[in-house]
Chain A
Amino acid sequence: MTIDLGYAWDTLINSWPMFWYGIKLTVAFAVVGTVFGFLIGLIIGAIRGMPADPLDSPFTKFMKKFGKALTGLYIWVFRGTPMMIQACFIYYLLRPVINWGPVTAGFVIISINTGAYMAEILRSGIQSVDPGQTEAAKSLGMTNLQTMIFVIFPQAIKNTFPAIGNQLVVNLKDSCMMNAISVTELFFQSSSIAGSKMRFVEVYLDTAIIYLVLTTAATWLLNVIERKMTNKKTVALKEMSC
């Protein structure tokens, strides 16, 4: 077992344009997947976290039950199967119908997959908000939707931010599964480089280091945002202690 570190370094420099191309796609997949997954998760999480209101009409009651069953199925399937299989299945299933490219398909699939995880994160976040908050909003006359958007979501998102942010880190890594539908993200590019040079250990060492840099940067960024979110308001108290 030998690793030629000099060779690894030279490859990183020489093949940088190929690596860089892959990095851009990997980051794009992580960001798009996390953002759209988050939006999907908000909607699904809201449907699943919605308490049964005794004032609901029978139709609304039915729709809530139906919505919960349907979203439950979605979460069960997408969390219970590997994303690589989801990618292959959905990409090839729909290709004859909508004639999409692997990158477009990849964006859609990683978003749907992330949405399933986000939905469970946000559902627990929504349910962890004190029911008194909802009662207060209702007592002012706010509708269910207004209550969700202006009172519940901001608190649920804040409470679950570490878990939400973690999905970005997960997606940076898991987007490599998109190589199965020949998306030229970082892992796909690395395989190409390694295959053409017939030097696997050195090239994958480069790849591992690049992934580590990406995930470290993302973690750092998330920590900064989280600190800002929690610190912002303490200033106000000092100002007014007059």
Chain B
Amino acid sequence: MENPIIKVDHLQKHFGDLKVLNDIDFSVNKGEVISIIGSSGSGKSTLLRCINLLEIPDGGSISFHGKDIMDRSQSLTDYRSKVGMVFQSFNLFNNKNVLDNCIIGQRKVLKRNKDEAKAIAQENLKKVGMSAFEHADSTKLSGGQKQRVAIARALSMNPEVLLFDEPTSALDPEMVGEVLEVMKDLAAQGLTMVVVTHEMQFAKDVSDRVIFMDKGVIAEEGTPEEIFENPKNPRTQQFLSRYSAR
């Protein structure tokens, strides 16, 4: 088997006395779409934030192409530019318009020239269906539009992996679809993705692998069929029954 892009070993994270992540092991392979599901407070988002070092793990290691990302001799900014992140609350830069949101990282981090950065930004905005809005003020878009721009912004860095932290949880129900469509397209194009989500249908249809987290540990991991059709862990069964009951 090919070496994984990201490998997480025995990851630990505490917030004060609260153990949020306890001995997490998992890896992300090239081209894979991984969904992480679980109830609120199970540590899903914290795990994702640890991978991008927005939270600093207390123990264990995370390696990127075999190199420990906690090793300070490695460039943190270089690593982060290769691992994109899409946030629940979009976090578009409020002082920039749509196009500039997608350009700034390319210019300042990847040092691309103006024309190249603009072309790449426009290409990605087209991909998410936001071309018509490239000069719009980013604060004046709807939630679904903001999230699509945020995806284009992350894509413009040409990341090897894209992390999605509950990308549709802050959206009005009628806008969830447009964002999920974009994500499905990306998955079909072979982008490596790790998606923390409450959208079970998406996890079922799009992922190659599903991880169920409970109380800071990976309670069960498998293909969508294994997790959704034949969950082995009673906690998984309980969690999924609450969703199917809806």
Question: Known: A55-B56, A140-B157. Contact between A158 and B95, CB under 8 A?
Answer: yes
Interface residue tally on B, bucketed by range:
35 or more
Q: Does A2 contact B (CB under 8 A)?
A: no
Query: In the assembled complex, which residues on chain A have CB atoms less than 8 Å from the CB atom of B157?
Result: 140-141
Within B68-89, the residues touching A (CB, 8 Å) are 72, 76-82, 84-85, 87, 89
Q: Does A155 contact B (CB under 8 A)?
A: yes
B80 in contact with A236 (CB, 8 Å): no
Nearest opposing residue in chain B for A146, CB measure: B108
Query: In the assembled complex, which residues on chain A have CB atoms less than 8 Å from the CB atom of B84?
Result: 139-140
- Interface-lining segment among B26-34, B128-136, B175-183, B200-208: B128-136
B91 in contact with A133 (CB, 8 Å): yes
Q: Does B140 contact A (CB under 8 A)?
A: yes
B132 in contact with A139 (CB, 8 Å): no
Query: In the assembled complex, which residues on chain A have CB atoms less than 8 Å from the CB atom of B52?
Result: 138-139
Query: In the assembled complex, which residues on chain B have CB atoms less than 8 Å from the CB atom of A54?
Result: 56
Query: In the assembled complex, which residues on chain A have CB atoms less than 8 Å from the CB atom of B137?
Result: 233-234, 236-237
Main DSSP-derived SS at the A contact region: helix
Main DSSP-derived SS at the B contact region: mixed
Distance (Å) between the CB of B141 and the closest chain A CB? Answer: 9
Q: Does B119 contact A (CB under 8 A)?
A: no
Query: In the assembled complex, which residues on chain B have CB atoms less than 8 Å from the CB atom of A140?
Result: 80-81, 84, 104-105, 109, 153-154, 157
Distance (Å) between the CB of A122 and the closest chain B CB? Answer: 15
21 residue pairs of the A-B complex, CB under 8 angstroms, read A132-B91, A133-B91, A133-B93, A133-B94, A135-B85, A137-B105, A140-B154, A141-B79, A141-B81, A141-B109, A142-B105, A150-B108, A151-B95, A155-B94, A233-B137, A234-B137, A234-B140, A236-B136, A236-B137, A237-B136, A240-B133
Add 19 more A-B contacts to A136-B153, A140-B109, A240-B132 (CB < 8 A): A54-B56, A130-B91, A130-B94, A133-B93, A133-B94, A135-B91, A137-B105, A138-B80, A139-B154, A140-B81, A140-B153, A150-B108, A158-B95, A233-B140, A236-B97, A237-B136, A237-B140, A240-B133, A240-B136
Query: In the assembled complex, which residues on chain A have CB atoms less than 8 Å from the CB atom of B91?
Result: 130, 132-133, 135-136
A55 in contact with B77 (CB, 8 Å): no
B105 in contact with A55 (CB, 8 Å): no
B72 in contact with A141 (CB, 8 Å): no
Distance (Å) between the CB of B58 and the closest chain A CB? Answer: 10
Question: Known: A141-B77, A146-B108. Contact between A151 and B54, CB under 8 A?
Answer: no
B95 in contact with A154 (CB, 8 Å): yes
Q: Does A242 contact B (CB under 8 A)?
A: yes
Q: How far is the CA of A66 from the CA of B93 in the complex (A)?
A: 31
Query: In the assembled complex, which residues on chain A have CB atoms less than 8 Å from the CB atom of B85?
Result: 135-136, 139
